[in-house]
Amino acid sequence: MPKLKTRKAALKRYKKTGAGNFLRRHAYKGHLLMKKSNVQKRRLSQRVCVTPGDSKPIKLMLPY
């Protein structure tokens, strides 16, 4: 059986934690930042844990 390949797009978007969870970035932080408040931009800068239902396909994309 051949080795599984890592999906490079998923590798750039998600980071695996020590407990096996995945961290992701928030959306809406790319542009149109003048109209957003500093509190909103600061909250969007923080990393968030992926929900368990969404982490199943990510585990297949990042086998190692």
Say which CATH number the domain at 42 has: 4.10.410.60
Closest CA to 24 of 64, 62, 55, 61: 55
The predicted model scores a pTM of: 0.83
Residue 30 placed within a domain: yes
Residue 36 placed within a domain: yes
For 2-56, write each residue's pLDDT tens digit. Answer: 999 999 999 999 999 999 999 999 999 999 999 999 999 999 999 999 999 999 9
Q: Name the residue range of residue 32's domain.
A: 8-61
**How far from chain centre, in Å, is Cα 22?**
7
Q: Are 4 and 11 in contact (CB under 8 A)?
A: no
